[in-house]
Structure 1
């Protein structure tokens, strides 16, 4: 039962992961450095 539910969720989880990686890749380097300088989590620091 759980295996079937998981198997149905895998494509959605992969799509969500792809969307997140595209979002992180779209953040300009300047914003990432500014966030690090300010001590706020930006980009990969959130993970």
Structure 2
């Protein structure tokens, strides 16, 4: 039996433009080499 506790479930933060969690999750899936600004341009 492990001594570690269970991991807390993380909630996705909302994006700065639309204040929507789903948009932020989509942008994070599209990310290429950490360029989040480019991913936001592709979504918009």
TM-score higher than 0.5? no
TM-score scaled to structure 1, two decimals? 0.28
Greater RCO, CA 8 A, separation 6+: 1
TM-score scaled to structure 2, two decimals? 0.30
Larger radius of gyration: 1
Instruction: Determine which structure has the larger helix proportion and give its number.
Output: 1
